[in-house]
Amino acid sequence: MNIYVLLKKTFDTEEKISVSGGQIEDDGAEFIINPYDEYAVEEAIVQRDAHGGEVTVVTVGDEDSEKQLRTALAMGADKAVLINIEEDLEEGDQYTTAKILEAYFEDKKADLILAGNVAIDEASGQVGPRLAELLGFPYVTTITSLKVDGDKVSIEKDVEGDVETIETTLPLLVTCQQGLNEPRYPSLPGIMKAKKKPLDELELDDLDLDEEDVEAKTKTIDIYLPPEKEAGRVLEGEITDQVRELVSLLNNEKKVI
The answer to whether 135 and 112 have CB atoms below 8 angstroms apart is no
According to the model, what pLDDT value does residue 28 have? 67
Q: In terms of C-beta density within 10 A (0-12 exposed, 13-18 middle, 19 or more buried), how is residue 101 classed?
A: buried
In 79-180, where does DSSP find H-type helix?
Answer: 94-105, 127-135
Model-level pTM?
A: 0.86
Query: Roughly how many angstroms between the first and final C-alpha of the chain, as a whole number?
Result: 55
Backbone phi and psi for residue 116, each to the nearest 5 degrees, phi listed first: -75, 155
**Average pLDDT of adjacent 10-residue blocks, the chain of 257 residues:** 96 76 72 95 98 98 95 98 91 94 97 96 92 97 97 94 94 96 95 96 95 91 80 89 92 84
What Rg value do the Cα atoms of the chain yield, rounded?
22
Domains of the chain: 2-214 (3.40.50.620)
Half-sphere exposure of 105 (CA within 13 A, CB side): 31
The CA distance from 219 to 91, in Å, is 8
The CA distance from 206 to 209, in Å, is 8
